Amino acid sequence: MPLDLVTFVLQNLVAEPDRLEVNATSDGRNVHIDVSCAPDDVGRIIGRGGRVINAVRTLARAAADGRQRVEVQLLE
């Protein structure tokens, strides 16, 4: 569920949604979501002072059930 939410939010945020890649790996309790995008969209995802990526991380954690730990990382 957190993967779907992160994908939906970021596709509507970036200028080139076809170059957006969102992948998740899970090792039981931990879920790692890796995001890669076009170089021009990095600033849109990070936001001023990191506010946008922090909001995406908060949404992903809220979408997970209480037993999972979710980490969202922007790959450059």
In this structure, are residues 21 and 62 in contact, taking their beta carbons and an 8 Å threshold? no
What is the secondary structure of the chain as a DSSP string? -HHHHHHHHHHTTSS-GGG-EEEEEE-SSEEEEEEE--GGGHHHHH-GGGHHHHHHHHHHHHHS-TT-EEEEEE--
d(CA 18, CA 38): 9
Number of domains in the chain: 1
pTM to 2 decimals? 0.91
CATH number of the domain bearing residue 68: 3.30.300.20
pLDDT of residue 14: 96
pLDDT of residue 19: 96
Domain of residue 48: give its range.
Answer: 2-74
Q: From first to last of the 76 residues of the chain, give the pLDDT tens digit.
A: 889 999 999 999 999 999 999 999 999 899 999 999 999 999 999 999 999 999 999 999 999 888 889 999 999 7
